[in-house]
Structure 1
Amino acid sequence: MKPIRIAFLLVSIMLLQSCGLKFWYNRLDWVVSWQADDYVELSSEQEDRLEALVREKLQWHRTTQLPRYVTLIKQLESEIGTEKIAENYDYYQSTLIDFYRTAAKELVPEVVAQMSDLDDEQVQELMQNINDTANKRLQKYKKTKPAKRTKNSRESVTDGVEEWTGRLSKNQKALIKQWITEMQSTSELRFNYGNQWRVAMDYALAERKTSEGQKKMIQLMLNPGELQSPELQSRYAYNKELEKSYILQLHQSMTKKQKKKLLRKLKSYREDFQDLIEDD
């Protein structure tokens, strides 16, 4: 399985990004093992170790991290529709990033320890599948016309917002259209960065039996951005500020009906997280 995906699949499901959260959360050991088969064939012993690791980390996450999620959602619920959202926007963003990094730091070193047990044939299979996946994405990107890419991005953002607020007004959709128009493209720079990351990971995997090789793997997973070019970092920073501006405009434009839907959604996640805590 793609190393970055093994390490962060758990993290992504832990955050506010999935439906059927409780169902998948409690079955994540099986999900990770199943996903691993897409990238590398593990032995029965390796699968058992991976599933045991996920179960162990889920218990850690359930008891130490889910309460943090509940606290943050409660604060969000109390501030939706007020000026506090704009005042605390950066705090919310940094807190969500911290959730991700905390989980990654807990998980990645032990994932790397297990990856060090892969044999040469498994490593070759893993890297081949990673490269094939990346190449397919690149070819798909090249075949898609710029206007279609812009349309896809606009529809993706619109769908994502409507998932939380319900149907958007024409003015709100116009805001999203303007947002996407103003974004700086990062695609080609990201493809180049991805190539550098995969080459570095390939070299690190060749040294996976050594402490130095494992340190390199951990570094690549926890701090992949170190390989980003200054131009890519600059565009990311610009787009991040742009995102903040338009999200706050969308928040300010929400109707009472949209606010109610957003609050119901937050409440649902909060209750799911609380139930998972109490399932311990």
Structure 2
Amino acid sequence: MAHHTAVAAPRLKRTPLSGRARALRAVVLGAAMALLLQGCSTVKLAYNQAPQLMAWQINRYLGLSDAQSERVRDELDDLHQWHRDTMLPQHAQVLQKVQRQLADDVTAQQACSTYADIRTQLDQVVSQAEPKMLWLASQLTDSQIRQLERKQADSNADWRKEWLDPTPEKLREHRFKELLSRAEGFYGRLDEPQKAALRAFIAQSSFDPQRTYNERLRRQKDLVHVLQTVARDRQNTAQTKTLVREYLARFDQSPDPAYRSYAQTLVTEGCAGFAQVHNATTPAQRVKAVASAKSYEQDFMTLAAQ
């Protein structure tokens, strides 16, 4: 429910993050996110392929050496197995809670409670992945950091084209179509009352693409600076640990108080927007939503047992 895609929960969508940050977060959050990126029929396949897909993404941004690639694959395999054993049952528990809620009307507070549960679980993944991130950060060469900057510039051009170039009217329509597609994947076909609720959420949203883009640039520059600092003293493991931890904290909570307030507003609006759309659904659509959540839960438990 974060950022402008909040109302589309529980299917998680990519958020407009920085290029290298996206690759770094793939190490940290990819195993959890991969569960929810596809429809129920492909969850198992997507999850089982997550380490390979993440390794490819990291290599695309950094141009890893053969030795680095092998170590990254091993680290991702370890993280994936830990996630399978530890986090999948917890994800299933959240979905059990979601199923109980979706049968009736949902309050914004209930939606935010579910969001908080998800954030807590992702924080566990961050903690587990941190040592692996420290190792990778300490191994990057100047050339690899420059490649990262080029990839950031490329991804920024794509981001601007999608979110900054369109007129406000086209942007609202783009958001509507994106959220509608994901909502219908969960509830089934939406009718005019639900579409009206979705459009009302978008019309009232505080989402500001320029503001979000500025934070994106801050995160990118922050990451490059951290990696360059690490590269100047690779053997200083204590410094590397501090730098990476502080970067992750700034990634999660911007040092800009105004942006932190803006980000929290988006979360709050997202919770209210999800409740607004859900409460406009029919009994049949709610049955479909409960069944969708149940299918995810069953897939998670099947994967956890493998």
Equivalence map 1:32-47=2 (5 Å)? 32-47=54-69
- 1:60 corresponding residue in structure 2: 82
Q: 2:128 aligns with which of 106, 113, 116?
A: 106
Equivalence map 1:1-280=2 (5 Å)? 2-14=23-35, 16-19=36-39, 20-82=42-104, 88-208=110-230, 209=234, 210=236, 211-227=238-254, 229-279=256-306
TM-score w.r.t. the length of structure 2 is 0.83
Return the alpha-carbon distance in structure 2 between the equivalents of residues 240 and 123 of structure 1. Answer: 32
Contact 2:223–2:247 under 8 Å retained in 1: yes
CA distance 1:64–1:85, change in 2 (3 Å): farther
CA distance 1:176–1:84, change in 2 (3 Å): closer
Return the alpha-carbon distance in structure 1 between the equivalents of residues 215 and 255 of structure 2. Answer: 6
Return the alpha-carbon distance in structure 2 between the equivalents of residues 3 and 93 of structure 1. Answer: 22
Q: Secondary structure in 2 aligned to 1:39? A: helix
Contact 1:33–1:50 under 8 Å retained in 2: yes
Contact 1:109–1:218 under 8 Å retained in 2: no
Return the alpha-carbon distance in structure 2 between the equivalents of residues 142 and 266 of structure 1. Answer: 34
Q: Secondary structure in 1 aligned to 2:139? A: coil
Q: Could you tell which deviates more after superposition, 5-14 or 49-58?
A: 5-14
Return the alpha-carbon distance in structure 1 between the equivalents of residues 77 and 260 of structure 2. Answer: 35
Question: How well do the aligned residues superpose, as a CA RMSD in angstroms?
Answer: 2.2
Q: How many residues align?
A: 278
Deviation of residue 87 (structure 1)? Answer: 6.1
State the one-letter code of the partner of 2:123.
R
CA distance 1:107–1:169, change in 2 (3 Å): same
Contact 1:9–1:32 under 8 Å retained in 2: yes
Q: Could you tell which deviates more after superposition, 97-106 or 212-221?
A: 212-221
Q: Could you tell which deviates more after superposition, 228-237 or 39-48?
A: 228-237
Return the alpha-carbon distance in structure 1 between the equivalents of residues 164 and 91 of structure 2. Answer: 39
Q: Could you tell which deviates more after superposition, 113-122 or 5-14?
A: 5-14
Return the alpha-carbon distance in structure 1 between the equivalents of residues 34 and 247 of structure 2. Answer: 21
Q: Could you tell which deviates more after superposition, 27-36 or 143-152?
A: 27-36
CA distance 1:184–1:261, change in 2 (3 Å): same
Deviation of residue 72 (structure 1)? Answer: 1.9
Q: Secondary structure in 2 aligned to 1:233? A: helix
Return the alpha-carbon distance in structure 2 between the equivalents of residues 122 and 263 of structure 1. Answer: 46
TM-score w.r.t. the length of structure 1 is 0.90
Q: Secondary structure in 1 aligned to 2:64? A: coil
**Which protein, 1 or 2, shows the higher relative CO under an 8 Å CA cutoff with sep ≥ 6?**
2
Return the alpha-carbon distance in structure 1 between the equivalents of residues 149 and 31 of structure 2. Answer: 21
Return the alpha-carbon distance in structure 2 between the equivalents of residues 140 and 92 of structure 1. Answer: 29
Deviation of residue 228 (structure 1)? Answer: 5.1
Q: Deviations over 1:63-113 (max 9, x none)?
A: 111111122222222332235766633321210111111112211331231
- Aligned-pair identity in percent equals 18
